[in-house]
Chain A
Amino acid sequence: MTSSLCRRKFLQTAAAAAAAAVSAGGAQAQDKPSFDETFDIIVVGSGIAGTMAALSAAEQGAKVLMIEKMSRLGGTSRISGLNFACVGSPAQKAKGIQDSPEQLASDMYKVSGSMGDYEKALEMAKNTARAEAFMTARGVKWDGRLLKLGGHSQPRVLISEGDGAGLLNALWKYMEGLKNVTVRVHCKADEVLFDDKKAVVGLKVRENYYFDTPESDDLTNRTGVEKKIRANQGVIFATGGYARDKAFRSAEVPFLAGVATTTNPGATSGALKILVKAGAQPIHLSLFRFAYPLPTEDMIWGVMIDPATSRRFLNEGLTRNALAQSVLLRRMTNGDKKPFIIYDEKALGKFHNLNRVQRSLNGLNGIDGTMYKYDSLKDLCAAYGADPKVVADELEKYNKLIAAGKDSDFDKQMERSGRKVQTLDLSGPLYAMVINPRLNYTPGGIRTDLRGRAIALADGKPIEGLYVVGEASGGLHGQERMTACSMPECCVFAMLAAENAAQRKRQ
């Protein structure tokens, strides 16, 4: 890997490139682009999908360039847990778990609102064990847990040591030893270049690009020096989602305008627009996926209050997107006041995993993700601007309903995963935090085939030499992406796309 070299070399190349840009002015008008540099495969983006694509392509013998527009590698993957749903892992074998690709694919389809792609999910699931072996052989360490998370019919989720950052650091360390991979940060893709046979032959980029804000990223930020780079075998877009792009997401779904997100600040729609301009078909752009600082399935143990009315307003046991929709629609009518959730110690004890509670209680769980402890309900209500008398009244009513075994107000389920919903002990201590749903994943993107090839909008056929993998692609998950299923999508289709591209005849 030659990233540090690139940065140092940049001082010299920037001036040369500027001169080249001036002298290339005439050449640009011609049909066939002239190139400043040549690689076999260019990978755009450096999260888990980009990293896996670059590694796989390099191991197939291709000369690879991986570019990243931000100042640092890793995108959203680096700040994510990268929980990995994997069928047939050594951990599953050691525990004698009977799982199959068909089970994972049908679990995914069940939550997809009949909008997911079963065939593609099956292709993904069949290749997860291979992706696990690939990563393990290149230094990734799993922390030993095998989790059965929400929606999964089997324990199959692996967690890497050090979360996403730990996993990526291991792969990048391995990448450093490969002479045929070049990595460049501050390098933004601008346009896919085609030959006269409508096959992709390269990419127009800007080097020394300096990201500033998501708003200016694709529209007004003109920093950097243009360069045309030839790709003999293909260009793989692993450019993530567009959760940070307010204008784009709210044009699709108005109530997404003001939502929070803790994705990579560079998660804008720019790459998607480049691909659409190149003729690729966008799909499922109106879909969304919300996440919370606390596990969605553990909201059920608490009581959520609207501070405007000081009353409950929903079933806390809803699915992630339904919960977010209720909260966001409520905020559109209550003066944008954020609802908050109340737990007692007994309720916290019901969480399937306390790590996220610990992070929340210690200010480590992101914007609006901090949980506070209160000695009394009065103190709690004062902190969240609710009327303590009304809240006390509401909680007593809630306790009566739970004790009677039926939530006749909002029809909350009385148990989950074998654990019963219980009454809250109002004498304290109590715990509370605001619930501000985060748009942390955008299921929509470019339509692709089973090899990650971009599908052309015009004729439904793959575009020669153009691949889109990971969150940048769309259509696999449908309405509700199951937890821990983005990571396997990223890894598997990155590998399949890289292998497919590396088998193409060099042009």
Chain B
Amino acid sequence: MKTILKTSVLLCSLIFAAAASAQMPQMSKHAQRNIQCTGCHQNGTFAPVPTAQCVTCHNQDQLAKSTERLNYTSRMKNPKTGEVKEHIALVNPHDSYHFGRTEDCTDCHREHRASVNDCATCHDVKAWNMKDPK
């Protein structure tokens, strides 16, 4: 009985997969590199892909380094004392002041629809020279 159930679940997912690939277009470079649905959805379901899966291909250290240039120095001169205060603004989305490296990839990067900038949920990111995520 169990085997029948398992087989039918598997069969259903395969049929669903064929239908889904038409309905769920890939929007990142994954499609250009010919990465199939099951390249990311590896556990037999089409549940959202955990970050642990993304980092099997994408190196987190390299990602953090690639956007390190976004960090900048904020400055202000105290109008009363003339003292200048400096502070490093840690706005690197892959290693940020609030969240370090603990954000999920899918907080910003979406595969089947337009990506979002999670920083912009709260921040005025115009000043940050930050490109929209892909």
Q: Do A and B come from one complex?
A: yes
Give the B-binding residues of A (Cβ under 8 A).
7-8, 10-11, 14-15, 18, 22, 71-73, 78-79, 165, 169, 186, 208, 210, 223, 225, 262, 265, 345-346, 348-349, 354, 357-359, 361-370
Assembled-state Cα–Cα distance A321/B110 (Å) = 38
Assembled-state Cα–Cα distance A346/B47 (Å) = 57
Q: Interface size bucket, B side?
A: 35 or more
Interface residues of B in 6-61 (CB under 8 A from A): 42-45, 47-48, 50-52
CB contact between A363 and one of B97, B106, B121, B124 (< 8 Å): that residue = B124
CB contact between B74 and one of A15, A71, A165, A364 (< 8 Å): that residue = A364
A contact residues around B102 at 8 Å (CB): 72-73
Assembled-state Cα–Cα distance A342/B126 (Å) = 21
Assembled-state Cα–Cα distance A7/B122 (Å) = 27
Say yes or no: is B87 at the interface (Cβ < 8 Å to chain A). yes
Say yes or no: is B4 at the interface (Cβ < 8 Å to chain A). no
Assembled-state Cα–Cα distance A15/B44 (Å) = 8
Give the A-binding residues of B (Cβ under 8 A).
5, 42-45, 47-48, 50-52, 74-76, 78-80, 85, 87, 89, 91, 97-100, 102-104, 106-107, 121-124, 126-128
CB contact between B123 and one of A165, A348, A367 (< 8 Å): that residue = A367
B contact residues around A223 at 8 Å (CB): 47-48
Whether the pair A354, B99 counts as a contact (CB closer than 8 A) is no
**5 smallest A-B Cβ distances: which pairs?**
A363-B127, A362-B74, A71-B104, A358-B76, A349-B80
Whether the pair B76, A357 counts as a contact (CB closer than 8 A) is yes
A contact residues around B45 at 8 Å (CB): 14-15, 18
Least CB distance from A28 to B in Å reads 19
Closest partner residue, chain B, to A11 (CB atom): B43
Whether the pair B87, A358 counts as a contact (CB closer than 8 A) is yes
Assembled-state Cα–Cα distance A265/B104 (Å) = 14
Assembled-state Cα–Cα distance A11/B89 (Å) = 37
With contacts A11-B42, A349-B78 taken as known, whether A366 is within 8 angstroms of B124 at the C-beta atoms is yes
Known: A15-B45, A265-B121, A362-B87. 15 other contacts (CB 8 A): A14-B43, A14-B45, A71-B51, A165-B99, A208-B48, A210-B48, A223-B47, A349-B78, A354-B76, A358-B87, A362-B76, A362-B89, A364-B91, A364-B123, A366-B124
Whether the pair B75, A362 counts as a contact (CB closer than 8 A) is yes
CB contact between B79 and one of A11, A169, A225, A345 (< 8 Å): that residue = A345
A contact residues around B76 at 8 Å (CB): 354, 357-358, 361-362
Assembled-state Cα–Cα distance A313/B112 (Å) = 48
Assembled-state Cα–Cα distance A210/B105 (Å) = 12
Least CB distance from B112 to A in Å reads 12
With contacts A71-B107, A363-B124 taken as known, whether A78 is within 8 angstroms of B75 at the C-beta atoms is no
With contacts A79-B98, A165-B98, A358-B76 taken as known, whether A72 is within 8 angstroms of B104 at the C-beta atoms is yes
